[in-house]
Structure 1
């Protein structure tokens, strides 16, 4: 192995203790036992995702973010007008769940279907936030 080549069989120590197959900064080659890793930061030699994929995911994420900002403004007005004790924690819980799922979608961008499932999953708690904010 030369100094330019990297050993592709190394695993980070954190991968053994992290959920969902672990996090890994240097993935191994295809057909390795680390193929079950769902979330990882891309390595320098990973193929870039297509522009259409990144653009679609970014637009979906931006839509989620703008919707969450609208819910936040509505919630702020409602809180100043007087709201029940459960209102803010409920909105915060669903909002944070939506953000966590959206982040997971971008970390799994190299998977074929998982990012789309996670973005759809991020839409559901945000839709509940919209309903709570609109109907309260």
Structure 2
């Protein structure tokens, strides 16, 4: 019985068309031309991020999630009480923007400042959701 191993590639074919430098399937090492890649799934041989960094990011994301649950409950009650046609799509749009930015933060966890910037930016759309749900 023989085993066939696939060669590990450093970039996917779609990386040439992806924004932000594309997605990377495995790390390429320091000083490579792929240093501009901002988002990638961590590879098995990547060093683990510090526990404090992961904990702080997870707590921030948990706070965002709990706030979004509050917005959802408020919106649920408002929709049954009668809401304008724009109410639900607007809340969904800003909520998805917030989730997308938070996901980007976790995908860029090996970068020094980008995850924190993305988490701060994900707070903005959620704050708009809170204002819309509270003031409507």
TM-score exceeds 0.5: yes
Whole-Å separation in 2 of the counterparts to 1:30 and 1:7: 20
TM-fit CA distance, 1:7: 7.1
Listed as ranges, the matches of 1:1-136 within 5 Å are 10-136=10-136
Which residue of structure 1 aligns with residue 3 of structure 2? none
Aligned equivalent of 1:3: none
Q: 1:89 to 1:9 in 2, by over 3 A?
A: closer
| Structure 2, unpaired ranges of 5+ | 1-5
Say whether the 8 Å CA contact 2:11–2:24 is kept in structure 1.
Answer: yes
Deviation sequence 1:37-61 (CA, Å, 0-9, x none): 0000111111100000000000000
Aligned pair count reads 131
| Structure-2 separation of matches of 1:86 and 1:132 | 11
Runs of 5+ in structure 1 lacking a partner? 1-5
- Greater mean deviation of Cα atoms: 8-17 or 61-70: 8-17
Whole-angstrom distance in 2 between the partners of 1:120 and 1:106: 13
Aligned-pair RMSD on alpha carbons? 1.5
TM-score by length of 2: 0.92
**Contact conserved, 2:11 with 2:23, CA < 8 A, in 1?**
no
Counterpart CA distance in 2 for 1:99 and 1:60 is 12
Q: 1: CA distance between counterparts of 2:99 and 2:24?
A: 22
Q: Identify which range, 75-84 or 18-27, moves more after superposition.
A: 18-27
| Cα distance, 1:17 vs structure 2 | 1.7
CA distance in 2 between counterparts of 1:128 and 1:84 reads 17
